[in-house]
Amino acid sequence: MLQPPSLQPLIPQEHTLPNGNTLYLFPNHSLGLVKLDITLEAGSAYQTFKSQAHAASQLFGEATTLHTAQQMAEYTDFHGIVIERMADTCVSNISFYFLPQFADSLFPLIAEMFSSTLITPQLFNAYVGHRRAQLKTNFQKTSYLARNRHYEILYGADHPLGTYALPQDLDRLTLTAVADFISQYYRLASAHLVISGSVSPQLLALADQYLSPSHDTTTFQPISLACHNIHPTVSDHITLPDTVQSTIRIGRLLPFAWDSTDYSRFMVLNTVLGGYFGSRLMSNLREDKGYTYGIYSQTQIFRHSIVMYITADVAAQATEAAVTEINREIDLLRQEPVPDAELDRVRNFMMGDFIRSIDGTFEIAERYRHMVSTEIDERLSTNLMETLATVTPDQLLSLAQSTLTDLVTVTAGA
């Protein structure tokens, strides 16, 4: 029987800041490096204008009232500080990588970024130009078009997960709108704070001093992304002339929650279908038919919903045949139990893949940060470990029959 790994390393230590906020810790003194993640309820679901949250994420802290953008860049470069910014539907995250000896240089800078970010017209115009070019390029990619249309059908165009920015939306975005968004949502008092790596008492003292503004008691109620869209079975094609390949995307919203036994079983079923290199879809469409270099079936957990999707890039002339073969593999899972030998192979792969995903302090911290933003917890891992040890072919057959139906198919290409 499979021996599940200990989940204890996935549980953070806690340090209470003077303002009552919690700093979550994943210490590893052997790393010699520190990562600070600051996660805020400041994703696109909160925005008034399309690209507002993305612009705020990219322009936050680029300059302040005390330092120009050039001075900020020179300061961080000199001290070897790397800053990564991202914004998704619910949250915005700023990650700082730094050496412990430069913490006393970084932490005052972070406090400055949160208290006095300044967006100059030059910075704003440069962002708009870059973002417009980026979106125009993306809209020439079949994978981008297929993904957007797929989520639009699944969630509806009015849902935060079903809408997306167009290049012309940037005409309505203003510097003031971005500055107002930062002022409203980029607040240390309501941030979720995670430090991983070489954590020391000196580092925690700096966090107490600079990450705990006593004057700000702002809190936010996390936004709900519940979806009540009941979609029909849909096939849609987006034409992009003169492309030599097409993107196929097939999937649905799953009818159960992340903490249910059905979801952990579906993760196994989905791996059989297309979740690893030896999967049925990969064996059929890549190895046997040569339609694609890679095809995958995945699940993605959002806040209050889960999407299952199959995706592949194929030669344009093979699109219809590839869709037929995908549906053939789905039908087989609905008709015949997975053989014991194949199920055992998948169990071993999934256990190894899980262990690899937590093989490192930063990886564990990132996993935890993602769990917080999607409002899940370690029951997901516990359920998976139990399922890998106990799931049967008949249970997977029943689940395939009830779940691998009403799939939305989107293709994009010539």
Residue 253 sits at φ, ψ, to 5 deg, of -75, 135
The model's pLDDT over 276-307, given as tens digits with 9 standing for 90+, comes to 999 999 999 999 999 999 999 999 999 999 99
Return the amino acid letter for 137.
T
**In this model, does residue 215 exceed pLDDT 80?**
no
pLDDT tens digits, one per residue of 158-173: 899 999 999 999 999 9
Can you name the residues that pair with 308 across neighbouring β-strands? 252, 299
pLDDT at 265 over 90: yes
Q: Taking a C-beta distance cutoff of 8 angstroms, is the pair 198, 29 a contact?
A: yes
Q: Residue 406 in contact with residue 368, Cβ under 8 Å?
A: no
So what's the pLDDT on residue 225?
Answer: 79
Span 235-413 CATH architecture: 2-Layer Sandwich (3.30)
Of residues 147, 120, 20, 7, the one with CA closest to residue 62:
120
What does the alpha-carbon distance between residue 264 and residue 390 come to, in Å, rounded to a whole number? Answer: 11
- The two tokens of residue 132 are 């417009």
Specify the pLDDT at position 6: 60
Average pLDDT of span 126-155: 96
* Residue 1 in this model has a pLDDT that exceeds 60: no
Work out whether the CA dihedral 120, 124, 126, 127 comes out positive or negative: positive
In single-letter form, the type of residue at position 1 comes to M
- The residues spanned by each domain of the chain are 8-210, 235-413
Comparing 343 with 242, the larger pLDDT belongs to 343
Spatial separation of the C-alpha atoms in residues 368 and 194, rounded to whole Å: 9
| pLDDT single digits (tens) 77-129 | 999 999 999 999 999 999 999 999 999 999 999 999 999 999 999 999 999 99
Asked whether this chain's domains 8-210 and 235-413 adopt the same fold, the reply is yes
Which residues on adjacent β-strands are paired with residue 93?
A: 39, 86
pLDDT at 9: 64
User: How is the beta sheet containing 408-413 ordered, strand by strand?
Assistant: 235-239, 408-413, 245-253, 305-315, 295-302
Q: What is the C-alpha to C-alpha distance for residues 407 and 300, in angstroms, rounded to an integer?
A: 16
**Each residue's pLDDT tens digit, 246-255:** 999 999 999 9
Q: Give residue-wise pLDDT tens across range 11-66.
A: 899 999 999 999 999 999 888 899 999 999 999 999 999 999 999 999 999 999 99
What mean pLDDT value characterizes the chain?
92
Residue 414 pLDDT level (bands cut at 50, 70, 90): confident
Where is average pLDDT lowest: 100-104, 352-356, 357-361, 396-400? 357-361
Cα separation of 283 and 64, whole Å? 54
Q: Given this model, what pLDDT does residue 30 score?
A: 87
- The second-level CATH assignment, the architecture, of 8-210 is 2-Layer Sandwich (3.30)
Rounded to an integer, what distance in angstroms lies between the CA atom of residue 149 and that of residue 162?
8
pTM for the predicted model, two decimal places: 0.91
Taking alpha carbons only, the member of 400, 90, 36, 88 closest to residue 222 is 90
Q: Rounded distance, CA 283 to CA 277, Å?
A: 8
Dihedral sign computed on CA atoms, order 255, 299, 139, 182 = positive
CA angle 123, 39, 75 (to 5 degrees): 45
State residue 165's pLDDT score: 95
Find, among 145, 147, 125, 146, the residue nearest to 136 by Cα.
145
Three-state SS letters, the chain: CCCCCCCHHHCCEEEECCCCCEEEEEECCCCCCEEEEEEECCCHHHCCCCCHHHHHHHHCCCCECCCCHHHHHHHHHHCCCEEEEEECCCCEEEEEEECHHHHHHHHHHHHHHHHHECCCHHHHHHHHHHHHHHHHHHCCCHHHHHHHHHHHHHHCCCCCCCCCCCHHHHHHCCHHHHHHHHHHHCCHHHCEEEEEECCCHHHHHHHHHHCCCCCCCCCCCCCCCCCCCCCCCCEEEEECCCCCEEEEEEEEECCCCCCCHHHHHHHHHHHHHHCCCCCHHHHHHHHHCCCCCCEEEEEEEECCEEEEEEEEEEEHHHHHHHHHHHHHHHHHHHHCCCCHHHHHHHHHHHHHHHHHHCCCHHHHHHHHHHHHHHCCCCHHHHHHHHHHHHCCHHHHHHHHHHHCCCCEEEEEEC
User: What pLDDT, on the 0 to 100 scale, is given for residue 291?
Assistant: 93
Pairing type for strands 408-413 and 235-239 reads: parallel
pLDDT in tens, 379-408: 999 999 999 999 999 999 999 999 999 899
Q: Does residue 2 register a pLDDT over 70?
A: no
